[in-house]
Amino acid sequence: MAASFSPHGERVSLFLDHLEKWVLVLLISFLAGFAVLQIILRNFFSTGIVWGDDLLRHGVLWLSILGASRATFEKKHIRIDLLPRIMPARFKFITDIMCCFISFLVCLILLWASWKFVRGERLAGDIAFASIPYWCLELIFPIGFALMALRFGFRFARGLAGRRPEGTEI
């Protein structure tokens, strides 16, 4: 965690941010392009890629989980936050740190659960399509929860160090 306080850590975090944004753009362009191709094939050539739908659905899953991880970074997760609105600012800071810590823990448990899930699927060894096994497609769960756990962890550590958490308030 200490790395997050050094300029080095900041740069890594910024680099990851850019990388993620571009991965998202590429992924969504690919999905849209692929979906258009499917429509054209189906309507004009009465054919189609059999596993195309499976690919699209998994693509949306990947995008969603990466999006959720981004929402963690931008502090844009859907939440109720009734108490912080009526409490004085100092308490608000404390609830914020508490929430980050609990979210960090929950994401760690989810990471562990998804790791077990993927390992089990790997042993089963079912193939999804184009000789890609299912467990590869399911890797997004451990990846996503690891990213989210990291981000909540960073924010918690920053909060403890007395700095304003990164990201914008909505």
Query: Does residue 6 touch other proteins according to CB under 8 A?
Result: no
Q: What is the 3-state secondary structure (H, E, C) of the chain?
A: CHHHHCHHHHHHHHHHHHHHHHHHHHHHHHHHHHHHHHHHHHHHHCCCCCCHHHHHHHHHHHHHHHHHHHHHHHCCCCCCCHHHHHCCHHHHHHHHHHHHHHHHHHHHHHHHHHHHHHHHHHHHCCEEECCEEHHHHCCHHHHHHHHHHHHHHHHHHHHHCCCCCCCCCC
Window 119-148: contact mask with other proteins (x via CB under 8 A) = -x----------------xx--x-------
- Residue number, 3 or 94, with CB nearest to other proteins: 94
Smallest gap, in angstroms, from Cβ of residue 23 to other proteins? 10
Smallest gap, in angstroms, from Cβ of residue 25 to other proteins? 5
Residues within the interface to other proteins (CB under 8 A):
21-22, 24-25, 28, 31-32, 35-36, 38-39, 43, 53, 56-58, 60-61, 63-72, 74, 76-85, 95-96, 98-99, 102-103, 106-107, 109-110, 112-114, 116-117, 120, 137-138, 141
